[in-house]
Amino acid sequence: MSERERPVRSLLFVPGNRESWMRKALGLDADALVFDLESATPSGRADEARSLVRGVLDTPRPERPLLFVRVRDARSAELEGDLEAVVCEGLSGVLLPQVIGPEDVRRLDQALGRREREAGLEPGRTLVMPLVETAQAARQAYEIALASPRIAYMGGGVSRNGDIARSLGYRWTPEGLETLFLRSKVLLDVRAAGVFNPISGLWGAVEDLEGLRAFAEQSRDLGYQGLMAIHPSHLDVIHQVFTPSGEEIDEWRRVIAELEAAEGEGRGAIRLDGRLIDHAHAETARRQLEWARKLGLI
């Protein structure tokens, strides 16, 4: 399975200037880690953080977790230095913050191509996850998602008093009604663009696991397949929410089996547990089972 086909239920952020935290995070049960060179790195310590991140990226590790780095935005003078430091065999991809439009992604795509050639890496191997943190990005999410074949993960993330809140002007509530349209709109855009794994987030209250669960369940029910996280204590809840249960897997198999039997008898639709189901339901069940296979559940 290539890195762009690996399911990501959890994407845990780790400050890029904390080497011990990054190395400890390698042993956590996260599907992906993000070593942060942007928001979580103190001003004036960029070179030190780059060196620390590169050291961790060069450490031999198992295939999981995927390792991403949040670099500076596409208009920053620091971006090239970030890429020079981190593009290597151990890097899965980069998160691009403060995206304004598709041109930002194309600029990063070209820069990554140059760095890959210089490092002797396979062209296009480094993935890109654009972060929707501006009103312009939310408005153009579909075009952004189509801007590079490197994009395998993307979604509508929200925060309390963060970049996207400042850009849109919403007032955060635990229920999330104020960001429901944003998350739904971006999800529609990334699905229409064919993005492999839509990811939302994040829940900023470290100790409020009940609130995290409610937010994760709402995101899952909208159609997202994973969530960004800021603390290791959130990983277990996120995985519980975004991992299909054994009962769900059995139900999907049952739907497929019952419809295949019905089709063998010349029937295109049947009643199952009081519900009318047909070919469309079987296709949905097959898609869900394929996701479960990618997660290693079957």
**What domains are there in the chain, each with its CATH number?**
3-242 (3.20.20.60), 246-294 (no CATH)
221-248 residue pLDDT tens: 999 999 999 999 999 999 999 999 999 9
Kindly state the tokens that stand for 13: 């952020």
pLDDT at residue number 191: 98
What local confidence, expressed as pLDDT, does residue 1 receive? 64
φ, ψ at 170 (rounded to 5°):
-75, 160
Output the pLDDT for position 3: 73
Query: What tens digit of pLDDT does each residue of 35-78 get?
Result: 999 976 777 788 999 999 999 999 988 888 999 999 999 999 99
Alpha carbon 3 to chain centroid distance?
13
pLDDT of residue 74: 96
Residues 244, 250: contact at Cβ < 8 Å?
Answer: no
Q: Which two tokens stand for residue 263?
A: 């089709």
Give the global pTM. Answer: 0.94
In the block, which residue shows the tokens 């062209």? Answer: 123
Distance CA 65, CA 71 (A): 19
Q: What are phi and psi of 286, to 5 degrees?
A: -65, -40
Compute the 3-state secondary structure of the chain and give helix, strand, coil in percent, each to the nearest 5.
Answer: 45, 15, 35
- The span from the CA of 127 to the CA of 34, in Å, is 13
| Dist CA 166 CA 54 (whole Å) | 32
In tens, the pLDDT along 104-162 reads 999 999 999 999 999 999 999 999 999 999 999 999 999 999 999 999 999 988 888 89
In sequence order, what are the residues at sequence separation of 6 or more whose Cβ sits closer than 8 angstroms to the Cβ of residue 189? 141, 142, 145
Helix (H) / strand (E) containing 285:
helix 279-294
CA–CA separation, 128 and 68 (whole Å): 9
At 126, is the secondary structure helix, strand, or coil?
coil
State the average pLDDT for the chain.
95
Pinpoint the alpha helices (H) of 58-134: 79-86, 102-119
